[in-house]
């Protein structure tokens, strides 16, 4: 596998498992970048579930904010799997630094436009639901949707995973 693949899907759609299988099947060394933060017991359990599924041979980096820096720091011969972009968006939107999101978004898009390393980018498709009522929720949906559009333009492949079934979009 070479190039950039954006993998989208709803909650519990099988998108992470699909991305992990793609990484395993590639035969490449893998750097897994996790963006989640264990801020409560439920999220701690989700993170542990993902950890248990990953092969011990994969290098794991936990980076909730500076995603472009983490990708750039991965060995050039590694396939990089990022799980997940929407958690990263949330982390940046909620950061104490109001410039976190615009700065880190721009850094990621610049890196993706220049880098040809094999990348699997996992994210939640948020455009199929109702428009949220709260300001922060609406901003999250808007920013996630715009980010997905920008990445999809740069990506070599876009895959939507529905009920565990990957559907090629691009």
Planar angle of CA 154, 160, 163, nearest 5 degrees: 165
Q: Which entry of 50, 78, 128, 148 is annotated as an active-site residue?
A: 50
For the beta sheet containing 165-168, the strands, ordered from the edge strand earlier in sequence to the opposite edge, are: 59-62, 30-34, 79-83, 119-124, 4-9, 157-162, 165-168
Three-state DSSP class for residue 17 = helix
Distance CA 137, CA 158 (A): 25
Distance CA 26, CA 72 (A): 20
Q: Which two tokens stand for residue 122?
A: 């996992």
Active site residue 50: yes
Catalytic residues: 50
């Amino acid at each position: 596998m070479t190039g950039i693949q954006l993998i989208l899907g709803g909650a519990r759609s099988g998108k992470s498992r699909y991305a992990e299988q793609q990484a395993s099947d590639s035969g490449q060394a893998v750097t897994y970048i996790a963006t989640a933060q264990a801020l409560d017991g439920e999220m701690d359990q989700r993170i542990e579930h993902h950890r248990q599924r990953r092969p011990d041979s994969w290098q794991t980096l936990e980076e909730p904010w500076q995603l472009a820096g983490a990708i750039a720091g991965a060995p050039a011969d590694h396939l990089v799997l990022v799980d997940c972009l929407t958690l990263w968006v949330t982390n940046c939107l909620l950061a104490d630094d109001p410039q976190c999101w615009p700065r880190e978004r721009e850094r990621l898009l610049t890196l993706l436009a220049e880098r040809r390393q094999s990348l699997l980018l996992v994210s939640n498709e948020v455009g199929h639901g109702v428009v949220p009522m709260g300001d922060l929720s609406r901003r999250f949906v808007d920013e996630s949707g715009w980010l997905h559009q920008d990445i999809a333009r740069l990506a070599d492949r876009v895959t939507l995973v529905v009920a565990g079934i990957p559907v090629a979009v691009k």
